[in-house]
Each structure stands twice: as structure tokens, then as C-alpha cells.
Amino acid sequence: MTTPALLRLTALAGIASAVGLVFNFLRRAEVVPDVAATQALAPLSATFGLIAVTGLFLWHRREVRVGTAGTAGYATNLLGLTGILGIEYIANVIFPRLDDSVVDELIAGPAGTVFMVISIVFLLGVLTFTGVLLRGGLVPKAAAVLYGAGFTAIALRTLFPEGVVAAGGFAAAAGLAVMSLTLYRLMGTDREVPGQASDRTDRTVVLKSSR
């Protein structure tokens, strides 16, 4: 069974992912220096995001708020986010060390097609998982909407101006942070006081023996 302590850890990963997402967009806006060291940190947001999404899903499943369709939505979101992690690594760690002409050639070829497919899968996963969050009723609806709208803008980044994509990134980070904080706080109140479990067991034994 999923324990509150484990879910709290996934919530911390969600907060780290949100911070990393904001950091990435600040770097792209040149508020933070765009150097090799900061570029290497870029994939961390998606890495922590994988843990965060899993934690939110396990929480909803623990509370029996998700069915087969919701599980499929989580799996699609996880698959798309895994692909985004790969894109982040390639775009921030490998491409900056290649000539622009080589990068353009790669994007114009199979790499660009793969990136597009990953973006579509990620978009579908975000939309379906946002539906899970909204129907589940465990997180603030506004946070779920920010999560869905923000990551939709990121998934469709080639269709929107950079300002819109950046706004989407900040919105997604805010939504994920709020949901993660909600999970962290609720799991803090759900922790069992030491000795309670054994006391309940002892009482059960006494009740059974007295019958």
C-alpha cells in the first residue's frame, strides 16, 4: 500500500520540478546565465516531474478516485513526459555543442519527426491526466487547470509565440507546485501516531476473545 511518507516524497519532487521549470524559462529569457552548467540542469525538471505525476496518480488511486481511463491517462502522460525528458537532454546538452547547420539538418530529418510525435503524446497525456485531476476533486481545480493549460502551451510551443510558451511554463509550474503542496500537507495530517496500529490490533483481539 502507498504510504503517506512515500507520497510526501513525491510531493517534494513536484515542488522541485516546478522550481526547475521556472529556472529553465528564466534561463531561456537570459535572466539566468545560459551556460553549460545551467543547461545541464534543464532535464532535472522533467526528471522530478515523472516522480510528481506518479505521486499524484498513486494518491488518486489510494483514494479510489481513478479508474481504467484515468490509469491510461496517467500512463500516456508519463510516456510523453519521458519523451520530453529526452528532448530536454538533447536540446540543452547535445545541440549546443553542435554546429547550427548540423542541428537544423537533424531537426529537418527524423529527429524533428520524433520530437513532434513526443509532443503529441505529451499533449494527449496532459489533457487526459488533467481530466483525472479535475474529476478526482483532491486538488484545487484552479491548480489542475493551470497545470493542463500551461503544459498544453509547452506541448504546442512551435505554434505559439515565445511569450505565450513562457507564460504557460510559469502557469504549469504554479499549478504543479500548488497540487504538490496540497498533497504534502494532507499526507502530513494522515501520518499515523506510533503505537496506534498496535493499539488497534490489541483492541481487536480483546473484542474477538470476549465474544
- Domain tally, the chain: 1
Q: How confident is the model at residue 69 (pLDDT cuts 50, 70, 90)?
A: confident
Q: How confident is the model at residue 211 (pLDDT cuts 50, 70, 90)?
A: very low
Instruction: Tell me the H-state helices in 109-211.
Output: 110-136, 141-155, 162-189, 196-210
Q: Which domain holds residue 14?
A: 4-210
pLDDT in tens, 153-203: 999 998 999 999 999 999 999 999 999 999 999 998 865 444 444 444 444
Residue 193, pLDDT score: 43
CB count within 10 Å of CB 40 equals 12
Q: How far apart, in whole angstroms, are the C-alpha atoms of residue 127 and residue 70?
A: 11
Opening angle at CA 105, ends 31 and 123, nearest 5: 60
